[in-house]
Amino acid sequence: MSEIELHRKLLGDAPRNRAFFDALRRVIRPGESTVLDIGAGTGFLSFLARRLGAKQCTLIEYADTIELAQRLARVNGIDGLQFVRAHSAEYRRRLAVDIVVSETLGNFALEEGFLETAVDARRFLKPGGCILPSRLRQYAAPVIVDRLQRDIDIWPTVGFELDLTAAREISLNNMYVRSITAEDLGDASHTQCWDDLDLRPDRPAPPSRRSRTLRWTADRAGQRIAGFALWWEAELVPGISLSTSPYAAPTHWEQIYLPLLRALALEAGDVVELELTCDTRPEVGVRLVWKTTQRRARRVVCEQRQDSLRGRL
């Protein structure tokens, strides 16, 4: 995807734009607040901040869009901006700002280095400063309809007497960006939080590698699980959030589908465990491991382990 196409989608997302506008309005003290915009792109969030009365904004962006941001600022008569072409993690000039804003969220929330960017950005804040978003929660739920799995797992149906098992294994160790609906999931009560990142500067910095196990119990026989859905909710400031939940209003972001190697056929009382391990250290990139265990009367009847590292080709 080209850079301008990405930003077309971003700026066409009215709920996103409104949420950031309302959050910035909440924290900016007109004539006083200074803002650092990390991953500034076209400069949109800094433009909003200046229109809301921010005293000065520093825009950090390593892509060519920093030049477009400068052009847009001139055309719109927006001053009080400092433009820096760099990656924020490599920027070593001393800054002390009141507010850091960084909208570097992906369909899988952490795929653009959001966590490491937010933690590193603490060094740019004045005492008592704030960061937007201030909290990120990631959620998971079983997918009970097999339409996504059928769309992805085409390998056994290719035919021509070819054994494509090796290709299938690579394919099913990937995370897939898909539009997942409430109908794919069924009961909203099956949603569980698997990751809760408190990014406020006065809280301990979340580590880049984390793991959690979720559990669901089948309440009747005949239920099936085809895979799992992931989505996120970003709290910009208390009371103002963005969500990619299938149960929420749509945004330009989609959800993540985690396929299974084989579907789970459940009996009443079966327990399904999903262990999610996320590693976004810079030397790793983005690695997600999902281990699925089905237990019946405490006995393991099915166990599957998938790893996005094995899905790279």
Q: Could you tell me the CATH number of the domain that includes residue 249?
A: 2.70.160.11
The C-alpha angle 135, 139, 145, rounded to 5 degrees, equals 155
DSSP assignment of 61-79 equals --STHHHHHHHHHHHTT--
Task: Calculate mean pLDDT across residues 255-281.
Answer: 98
In this prediction, residue 3 has a pLDDT band, given cuts at 50, 70 and 90, of confident
pLDDT of residue 313: 80
- Cβ atoms 13, 251 nearer than 8 A: yes
Rounded to 10 degrees, what is the CA torsion of 162, 165, 170, 175? Answer: 100
CATH of the domain at 85: 3.40.50.150
Domain boundary among 103, 125, 146: 103
Residues, the chain, total? 313
Residue 197 has pLDDT above 70, yes or no: yes
Residue 125 lies in a domain: no
Residue 121 domain flag: no
What is the arithmetic mean of pLDDT over 220-249? 97
164 and 239 within one domain: yes
Residues 245 and 175 in one domain: yes
Task: Report whether 188 contacts 247 (CB < 8 A).
Answer: yes
Structure tokens at 118: 């937010």
Q: What pLDDT digit, counting tens, does each position of 123-136 carry?
A: 999 999 999 999 99
Asked whether residue 246 is assigned to any structural domain, the reply reads yes
Find the domain containing 13 and state its range: 3-103
In whole angstroms, what is the distance from residue 278 CA to residue 177 CA?
A: 17
User: What is the average pLDDT across 268-274?
Assistant: 98
Mean pLDDT of 138-163: 97
CA-based angle 156:158:159, to the nearest 5? 90
Query: Radius of gyration of the chain from Cα atoms?
Result: 22
Average pLDDT over residues 41-52: 98
86 and 223, same domain (yes or no): no
In a domain, 263, yes or no: yes
Instruction: State the Cα–Cα distance between residues 107 and 103, nearest whole angstrom.
Output: 12
Judge whether 211 and 280 are in contact, CB under 8 Å.
no
pLDDT score at 1: 62
Mean pLDDT score of the chain, rounded to an integer? 97
Q: Is residue 171 part of a domain?
A: yes
pLDDT in tens, 7-37: 999 999 999 999 999 999 999 999 999 999 9
Q: Give the residues across from 229 on adjacent strands.
A: 141, 257
Beta strands, E only, 255-308: 255-265, 271-279, 287-296, 299-307
Q: Average pLDDT for residues 298-312, to the nearest whole number?
A: 97
Residues 132-160: what's their mean pLDDT?
Answer: 98
Do 277 and 160 fall within a single domain? yes
Q: For residue 131, is it within any domain?
A: no
Over range 226-248, report the average pLDDT.
Answer: 98
3-state helix, strand, coil in the chain (%, to 5): 25, 35, 40
| CB-CB neighbours of 180 under 10 Å | 26
Q: Is the pLDDT assigned to residue 231 strictly greater than 70?
A: yes
Residue 213 sits in the same domain as residue 281: yes
Rounded Cα distance between 199 and 49, Å, is 21
Judgement on whether residues 174 and 72 belong to the same structural domain of the protein: no
Q: Are residues 15 and 162 in the same domain?
A: no
The average pLDDT across 199-213 equals 98
146 shares a domain with 52: no
For residues 36 and 86, state if they share a domain: yes
113 assigned to some structural domain = no
Residues 102, 117 contacting (CB under 8 angstroms): yes
* Domains in the chain, number: 2
Distances (CA, A) of 216 to 64, 190, 223, 274: 46, 7, 12, 9
> Rounded to 10 degrees, what is the CA torsion of 96, 100, 106, 107?
150
Q: What is the pLDDT of residue 2?
A: 81
Question: Does residue 303 sit within a domain?
Answer: yes
